[in-house]
């Protein structure tokens, strides 16, 4: 249904890992791109049991079949020992693999074998605006961009099942933590901190656990691709800046569920926060799919000036405002950053009906124009 803009299309013949949070569409994508490829789905109990008991079966079956690749192994993190067989087939027989999963954490813990740099790394994110015909901002803000959730008439049950499945399969099944109730409480506390600077001690106090445990829980969210830290921009300037990172969940629909948000209407405080989160998701996907892999930071001074996103080491500054008309007071943070760091582009993304340019060369772009320009490569050029 969607023309996915993932970097995997440029894979050529190299083996690769394809990582992505659950239900972002990894399996569907691989079946569409490689319909005739040998496919091992480790979510199937019988497939998992036989390969887990005897990983060498993979080598024996492929050598008989003669197909050089790509060979697809879905949920590869469930059997870390398969990586030894895969590496042997790559090195000695020239096979090509696409290894799909939701987390490299178990592979690192289980065997430490990530193929010694022989496999490229690709990520699949939730949907982005350019993949969706007639993209609906209001639906995106309320439903999130996980494909099934975006399409659903009412995504709440799907979101509830998603969080429950995540706790069961990613946390309990892989024994990442034994204290599931504490982790569940932490998820809610982390949702309240979504898009904010992270204070481990405050969250620890709220959850009744230690600050080191909170830090480990955030690491679990990162490793399982459920969330991302956005570091502070800390290049020296005359102003004293805040250094704590911000944290965002990978999809704003999950935040909506955890915080029990109802309708996110234009003009509300929730609208502005969700609008910023959505643009963050687009930037995270774009930097990977484009192959540019530019830095994404935020900037905030001790005196309260702030810019939402600083890209590529300070060359592009982007402020997000979910308002129908940008006025001078909305530009204070951006102008302070310009004074200190002189970015080559300064942009405000808003609900303004038409693009405009201020006298000091700040671009004010309607969100549709910004997103179109982003995916055409015009923002980073």
Give the separation between CA 73 and CA 65, rounded to whole angstroms: 16
Residue 208 lies in a domain: yes
Residue finishing a domain among 123, 139, 158: 123
Same domain, 170 and 314: yes
Q: Which domain holds residue 14?
A: 7-123
Same domain, 99 and 211: no
Residue 2 lies in a domain: no
pLDDT at 108 (0 to 100): 64
Same domain, 27 and 114: yes
Residue finishing a domain among 123, 143, 159: 123
Give the separation between CA 171 and CA 330, rounded to whole angstroms: 42
pLDDT at 48 (0 to 100): 96
Same domain, 356 and 218: yes
Which parts of the chain sit beneath pLDDT 50?
A: 1, 175
Same domain, 232 and 116: no
Residue 280 lies in a domain: yes
Same domain, 366 and 320: yes
pLDDT at 171 (0 to 100): 67
Domains in the chain, number: 2
Q: Cβ(299)–Cβ(337) under 8 Å?
A: yes
Q: What is the CATH number of the domain that holds 86?
A: 3.40.50.300
Q: What is the pLDDT of residues 269-318, one digit of tens each?
A: 899 999 999 999 999 999 999 999 999 999 999 999 999 999 999 999 99
Residue 93 lies in a domain: yes
Residue finishing a domain among 90, 123, 156: 123
Same domain, 165 and 274: yes
């Amino acid at each position: 249904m969607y023309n996915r803009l993932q970097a995997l299309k440029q894979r050529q013949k190299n083996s690769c890992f394809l990582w992505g949070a659950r239900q972002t569409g990894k399996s569907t994508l691989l079946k569409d791109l490689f319909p005739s490829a040998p496919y091992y789905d480790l979510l199937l109990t019988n497939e998992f049991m036989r390969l887990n008991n005897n990983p060498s079966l993979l080598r024996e079956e492929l050598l008989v079949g003669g197909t050089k690749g790509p060979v697809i192994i879905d949920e590869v993190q469930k059997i870390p020992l398969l990586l030894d067989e895969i590496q042997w087939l790559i090195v000695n027989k020239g096979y090509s693999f696409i290894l799909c999963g939701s987390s490299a954490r178990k592979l690192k813990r289980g065997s430490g074998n990530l193929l010694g740099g022989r496999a490229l790394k690709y990520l699949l994110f939730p949907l982005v605006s350019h993949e969706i015909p007639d993209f609906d901002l209001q639906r995106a803000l309320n439903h999130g961009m996980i494909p099934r959730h975006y399409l659903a008439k009412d995504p709440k049950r799907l979101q509830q099942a998603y969080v429950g499945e995540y706790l069961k399969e990613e946390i309990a099944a892989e024994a990442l933590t034994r204290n599931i109730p504490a982790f569940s409480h932490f998820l809610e506390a982390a949702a309240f901190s979504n898009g904010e600077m992270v204070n481990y001690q405050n969250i620890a106090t709220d959850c009744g656990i230690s600050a080191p445990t909170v830090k480990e829980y955030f690491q679990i969210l990162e490793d399982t691709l459920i969330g991302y830290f956005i570091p502070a921009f800390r290049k020296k300037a005359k102003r004293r800046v805040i250094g704590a990172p911000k944290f965002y969940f990978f999809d704003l629909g999950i935040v909506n569920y955890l915080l029990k948000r109802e309708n996110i209407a234009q003009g509300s405080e929730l609208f502005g926060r969700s609008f910023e989160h959505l643009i963050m998701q687009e930037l995270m996907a774009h930097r990977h799919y484009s192959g540019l892999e530019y830095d994404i930071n935020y900037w905030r001074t001790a005196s309260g000036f702030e810019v939402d996103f600083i890209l590529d080491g300070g060359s592009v500054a982007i402020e997000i405002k979910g308002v129908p008309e940008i006025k001078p007071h909305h530009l204070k943070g951006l102008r302070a950053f310009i004074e200190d760091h002189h970015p080559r582009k300064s942009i405000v993304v808003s609900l303004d009906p038409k693009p405009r340019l201020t006298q000091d060369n700040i671009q004010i772009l309607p969100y549709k124009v910004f997103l179109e320009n982003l995916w055409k490569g015009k923002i980073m050029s």
